Amino acid sequence: MNEPHLLKQTLRAVMAGQQRAAADPHRPLWHLAPPVGLMNDPNGFIQFNQRYHLCYQWNPLACAHGAKFWGHWSSADLVNWQHEPLALAPVEEYESHGCYSGSAVDDHGVLTLVYTGNVKFEQGRTAWQCLARLNPQGEFDKLGPVLALPAGYTGHVRDPKVWRHQESWWMVLGAQDSDLQGKVLLLQSPDLQSWTLKGEIAGSGLGGLGAFGYMWECPDLFRLADQDILVVCPQGLAAESYRYLNTFQSGYFSGELDYDAGHYHHGEFHELDHGFEFYAPQTTASDEGRRLLIGWMGVPDQEEFYQPTIDHGWIHTMTCPRELSWQAGKLFQQPARELRQLRSCARTFNGEAASLPELDIASAEIDFAVNGEFSASFAGILQLHCDRLGLTLTRSNRRSGETEHRYWRGTVTHLQILCDSSSVEIFINHGEAVMSARYFPGSQPQLRLQGHSMLALHHWSLKRCVIE
């Protein structure tokens, strides 16, 4: 499809559908969601010239996975956002089946995108790693491919995350080798144009892992405290009793990267989010040195196409932005401090859980210490149970109707819960773990607590963010 025709169809889809999407009662009040169509992975997350930029995988033409565009927002404060010109559209031969995920860097004062051009053909598929640079008009000019498919790998090589270390650019790439095993590749470049493969730094059958998935997507490697953290999404992990229960997983390793040798010595894999919907997170460093994360509140090939928002012409949201820290040998996640701007109408309640009034959770934050067993019902649809083993989150599967559970095992001492019109994010023990979930309540959803645990509970209504 040629570019003028594709852009005309995109404009038509947005103009025809945005009013219907905006009228959906499940439309988020402060989470980011596509104006129309399907959104998935966050891309190109960066703070550049004192503004945050966040791109996203987007199919504006349908609530379906197809040839992906990159939409583009920017923000001064991670709370209020504005639409920027479309970043990428799949119009070139080297990206004919989608501008797949990637990252953004500041290349000598020029905002530069590094992304995967996906090409499918009758006998299979291939992938190109490509560049695009921001021009003075606020649009991205494509420079084309800079890295072809490396030898020894299938066409599933994608999702470049690029950063600067000393005098070089470095890239991690998700990959599948010729034995159909998931890997993460490390590459080095002096100029973003010419890349040298340093080797496989992690993957199925490496670093003490046995078989560990057939494809590793969305790698992200960064230094935090004294650790090199590798965030990655392995596909093909077998479900266990209390973990790996989503269709595909997202998690992290911690360790030490030897840049010269192209070797990463790491520990065990830990899930990043223990809820129902979380995938493809991407991080960036803020100007003051914080490491921030945003994820897609969805999972591919799960029951996504049974979500009722499809009837309004849109599907999926991002998570809230999260701050990362390394504490006691674990990766902690907490809501970005900027989100406190949304708080209003503060209220405090004290007493036995069952004695507390029902709380409005259409758009709210709830914070309380935990000192015993209790249960919480989110609009009668999503159930949270806390006991000595940890937390269990329960709902009915939207496709099958069967009851399904997600778990976090450990001692719960504190919960911070962020609610929007169709999502819940539960931060455990000041960020030791998180459980995220989409849910679709009726009007005026309420939180009802049960149990004998004594709670000192803080509740805030959260204001609507501004998206211009």
Domain boundaries, the chain: 149-271, 335-462
> At 310, is the secondary structure helix, strand, or coil?
helix
pLDDT exceeds cutoff 80 at 2: no
Give the model's confidence band at 376: pLDDT under 50 very low, under 70 low, under 90 confident, else very high.
Answer: very high
Buried b (16+ CB within 10 A) or exposed e, 87-114: bbbbbbebbebbbbbbbbbebeeebbbb
CATH code at 335-462: 2.60.120.560
> Which candidate in 41, 220, 273, 420 is catalytic?
41
Catalytic annotation on 179?
no
Quote the pLDDT of residue 106: 98
What mean pLDDT value characterizes the chain? 97
**pTM exceeding the 0.85 threshold for the entire prediction:** yes
Quote the pLDDT of residue 217: 98
20-39 average pLDDT score = 97
- Give one DSSP letter per residue of 154-203, joined into a string: EEEEEEEEEEEETTEEEEEEEEEETTS-EEEEEEEESSSSS-EEEEEEEE
Which DSSP helix (H) or strand (E) runs through 45? strand 37-48
Cα–Cα distances (Å) from 127 to 156, 197, 235, in that order, read 7, 16, 18
58-63 average pLDDT score = 97
pLDDT exceeds cutoff 90 at 368: yes
Contacts of 99-102 with CB under 8 Å at 24 or more apart are: 99/68, 99/69, 99/70, 99/130, 100/57, 100/68, 100/127, 100/158, 100/159, 101/41, 101/43, 101/57, 101/158, 101/159, 101/217, 101/218, 101/280, 102/43, 102/44, 102/129, 102/130, 102/159, 102/160, 102/161
Distinct helix (H) and strand (E) counts, the chain: 1, 34
Span 405-417, pLDDT tens digits:
999 999 999 999 9
264-270 average pLDDT score = 98
Span 305-338, pLDDT tens digits:
999 999 999 999 999 999 999 999 999 999 999 9
Span 99-145, pLDDT tens digits:
999 999 999 999 999 999 999 998 899 999 999 999 999 999 999 99
Which DSSP helix (H) or strand (E) runs through 3? helix 3-22
> Residues 13, 69: contact at Cβ < 8 Å?
no
For 149-271, the fitting CATH number among 2.115.10.20, 1.10.1380.10, 3.20.20.60, 3.40.462.20 is 2.115.10.20
Quote the pLDDT of residue 466: 86
Paired strand residues for 403? 396
Quote the pLDDT of residue 1: 65
Quote the pLDDT of residue 468: 85
> Residues 214, 233: contact at Cβ < 8 Å?
no
On the CB side of 212, CA atoms within 13 Å amount to 23
Cα–Cα distances (Å) from 64 to 41, 68, 155, 305, 306, in that order, read 14, 10, 22, 8, 12
On the CB side of 138, CA atoms within 13 Å amount to 10
DSSP 81: E
Question: What percentage of the chain exceeds 90 in pLDDT?
Answer: 97
Give the model's confidence band at 277: pLDDT under 50 very low, under 70 low, under 90 confident, else very high.
Answer: very high
